[in-house]
């Protein structure tokens, strides 16, 4: 029996002698894999960072279009004028509602904001330019009336990279459509 056991041990040593040092990875192989993983994760971080400015303009465009839809819907349901205003000097967009008892004949352009109730105010992002009908005025506005119509026009929202979106407001129907500038 002892002879059989020794024979098995010799067979095992001969069979696995060439694989004695290959039980795992070397330190150099592990370092190379870690460097490759580090480079790949760095590239992913850069790609995500590049897409954040595009995400900011898309989000802001959706926010502005939802404010405009809100203004149109409430102008019709509450039977009063709503006014969307861009204050470039203050760096804000605002939404005003005329008092319910005010008639159209009493409206003065100078008192448009003084007699109106401010409903919401949002800051303009620093790297985004907003204008109505591509005007350079400091204060620009767009009105929505009780019958669903509006003063109409296009709002251009553009970032520093040149990416632009247009929000078109139909003068007759007050319908709001968003379009990316090609």
| Residue 95, domain member (yes or no) | yes
How does pLDDT run along the chain (182 residues), one tens digit per residue?
566 566 666 655 555 555 555 667 889 999 999 999 999 998 888 777 666 667 888 999 999 999 999 999 999 999 999 999 998 888 899 999 988 654 444 444 444 455 677 889 999 888 888 988 888 888 889 999 999 999 999 999 998 888 899 999 999 998 999 998 87
| Residue 38, domain member (yes or no) | no
| Residue 33, domain member (yes or no) | no
Asked if 95 and 85 touch (Cβ cutoff 8 Å), the reply is yes
Strand ranges inside the chain, DSSP E: 82-87, 92-97, 117-123, 128-132, 139-144, 153-159, 164-169, 176-180
The confidence score (pLDDT) of residue 5 equals: 60
The confidence score (pLDDT) of residue 47 equals: 76
Asked if 156 and 134 touch (Cβ cutoff 8 Å), the reply is yes
Q: pTM to 2 decimals?
A: 0.66
**Tally of structural domains, the chain:** 1
Range of the domain at 156: 52-100+112-180
CATH of the domain at 71: 3.55.40.10
């Amino acid at each position: 029996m002892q002879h059989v056991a020794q024979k098995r041990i010799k067979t095992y040593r001969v069979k696995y002698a060439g694989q004695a040092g290959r039980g795992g990875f070397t330190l150099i192989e592990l370092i190379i894999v870690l460097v490759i993983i580090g480079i790949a994760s760095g590239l992913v971080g850069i790609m995500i960072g590049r897409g954040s400015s595009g995400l900011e303009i898309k989000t802001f465009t959706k926010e502005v279009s939802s404010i405009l839809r809100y203004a149109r819907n409430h102008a019709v349901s509450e039977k009063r004028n709503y006014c969307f205003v861009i204050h470039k000097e203050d760096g804000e967009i605002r939404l005003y509602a005329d008092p319910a008892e005010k008639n159209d004949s009493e409206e003065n352009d100078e008192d448009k904001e003084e007699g109106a109730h401010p409903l919401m105010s949002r800051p303009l992002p620093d790297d985004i330019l907003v204008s109505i009908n591509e005007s350079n005025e400091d204060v620009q506005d767009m009105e929505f009336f009780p019958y669903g119509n509006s003063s109409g026009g296009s709002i251009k929202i553009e970032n520093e990279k040149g990416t632009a979106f247009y929000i078109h407001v139909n003068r007759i129907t007050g319908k709001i459509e968003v379009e990316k500038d090609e």
